[in-house]
A and B are shown apart, each in its own frame.
Chain A
Amino acid sequence: MRLWIFVPLAFALIGGACSNTPPAVLSLATTTSTNDSGLLDAIVPDFEEQFNASVQVVAVGTGQAIALGEAGDADVILVHSRSREDAFVEEGHGTARYDVMYNDFIIVGPDDDPAAIVALPTASVGMAVIAATESTFASRGDDSGTHSKELSLWNAAGVEPDPNAPWYKSLGQGMGATLNFADESGAYTLTDRGTYLSQSEALTALAVMVGGASIDENLDSALLNPYGVIPVNPDKGDINAELANSFVQWITSVEVQGQISIYGVDTYGQPLFYPDSEAWRTQ
């Protein structure tokens, strides 16, 4: 019974922790790639300072980021799956979609390239060969933007992979974990270039198969990976719409777009994301 004295103590602790919250909190649901690459850590503090806000970054797959927006559990979403973004706005969950930036997808695989796809021009041809030779392929399998892209590439290749086939490994995990799996198991996988570059030092058994050493060498336009930002519809209630709109204006501004254009150049010799907002394109 003496345990009861801990109840008021627990409330006091919770209350104490909450009394220090800053005036405005923006909940941003985004994909793992923008967060894992370190981009948000690099640029968001500037927004927090300018708008006296605290940004809560929820880094999940595009599928869950969209689900969070639909449930009204996020104020703004930053994702990469164009058709689902458009559907999100059309169904009234978001107010409008704005271009932010892009990078590209690549296919990576074991150094010795058992399926011999390294010289092939497009991802879908490469993937058709992977399927035909039944070489191990690691799929995100998590409904993320990268997973959606993978499915559309299989579709273009005319292959419908059976998730129970021994060569097709559907992991249901993030990009980082999937790349580690491919590295350990000698598997091919589709990845965004940013995450691959930021992890490539540890991925000793992997090399780029389709997509070249940088986005300029990527000959397959199907591998383009655009990111969009969408403020969640304030009708859902308890949405910080004003701050969400400020975030959109801020991330699409020429100044922040300039920061995006140089992020990662020091470390990887190339940017991880390329700015693409309307303001940037028309400057």
Chain B
Amino acid sequence: METLGRAFGDALQLLWNMDSDLFEIVGLTLQVTLVALAIALVLGIPIGAALGLTKHLPGRAFVVPLIYTGMGLPPVTVGLFTYLFLSNQGPLGSLGWLFTPAGMIVAQTIIAFPLVVGLTMAAVQGVDPDLPIQIRALGATRCQVALTTLVESRIGVTAAVVAAYGSIISEVGAVMLVGGNIEGETRVLTTAIVLETRKGNFALALALGIILLALAFLTNLIFHRLQVRQGGP
């Protein structure tokens, strides 16, 4: 208990004197997380909406369980596969992305993508099934139908964004394997926490943990305000 108390005090002090190394780690964490999230959203929301709207698509019976499995993918397995693909012996070795932020973004996108697709699909399916029929009767194109349905299910879609963000900013296994936790290059908050705990620097580890929690909380605060403005809970 004494260690915990002391670590907490030291942690607050470290936060107060936020140095440039700490800034760099926080910056990279946000950069990797947000880029991966953006890619996953751009790819995932249209696919999720399409799956939610078209109930009789051929192959759907196979794709949907696949997406649900993907939502529970162990991140460390994603990290392993990404590592093997990006390794010099792997098919994408020539890209030179192993142990770089680009490789970390690839792994995190793969983790976030099924979450975005699955939750968007569920949100779209929750919309009144008569709505697409009605607006189609008004002469809307397929694209317009999808867009209107997405707007109608925006609270559920925001939940998809929140879930994907939370899962990748707090993820450690894949970024450790693919990024390599290189100081000043690929070290992010989660891998830095693992390292400092291993070194017995509990105060620094705790300070990093507090920053991670604060980042997650702040972002969720913003998302929640958006939801409220949209008439959500």
Contact = CB atoms under 8 A, between A and B. Distances in A.
Interface string B176-209: 1000111111010001100101111110000000
A70 B185 CA distance: 32
A143 B181 contact: no
Nearest to A141: B183
B227 interface: no
A172 B176 CA distance: 10
A177 B99 CA distance: 12
A182 to B, nearest CB: 11
Given A169-B185, A185-B99, A64 B198 contact: yes
A275 interface: no
Contacts of A63: 198-200
Nearest to A174: B198
Contact of A170 (B98, B99, B183): B183
7 contacts: A64-B199, A64-B200, A143-B201, A163-B184, A171-B180, A171-B183, A184-B99
Given A71-B3, A163-B183, A181-B99, A143 B200 contact: yes
A173 interface: yes
Interface in A156-198: 163-164, 169-173, 177, 181, 184-185
Residue among B87, B185, B195, B201 having the largest count of chain A Cβ atoms under 10 Å = B195
B59 to A, nearest CB: 36
Contact of A143 (B99, B180, B185, B199): B199
Interface residues of B, number: 22
Contacts of B198: 60-61, 63-64, 142-143, 172
A66 interface: yes
Interface residues of A, number: 24
Given A181-B99, A184-B87, A184-B99, A164 B200 contact: no
Interface of A: 60-61, 63-64, 66-68, 70-71, 141-143, 163-164, 169-173, 177, 181, 184-185, 205
Contacts of A141: 183, 195
B73 to A, nearest CB: 22
Contacts of B202: 67
A104 B183 CA distance: 27
Contact of A173 (B87, B176, B185): B176
Nearest to B87: A184
A64 B180 contact: no
Contacts of B200: 63-64, 66-68, 70, 143
Contacts of A169: 180, 182-183, 185
A181 B185 CA distance: 14
B183 A177 contact: no
A184 B181 contact: no
B88 interface: yes
A159 B5 CA distance: 38
Residue among A164, A170, A171, A185 having the largest count of chain B Cβ atoms under 10 Å = A171
A63 to B, nearest CB: 5
Interface string B133-157: 0000000000000000000000000
A177 B180 contact: yes
A282 B69 CA distance: 62
A205 B187 CA distance: 25
Nearest to A70: B200
A63 B200 CA distance: 6
Nearest to A71: B3
A61 to B, nearest CB: 5
Interface in B164-183: 176, 180-183
Contacts of B197: 64
A256 B71 CA distance: 49
Contacts of B176: 173
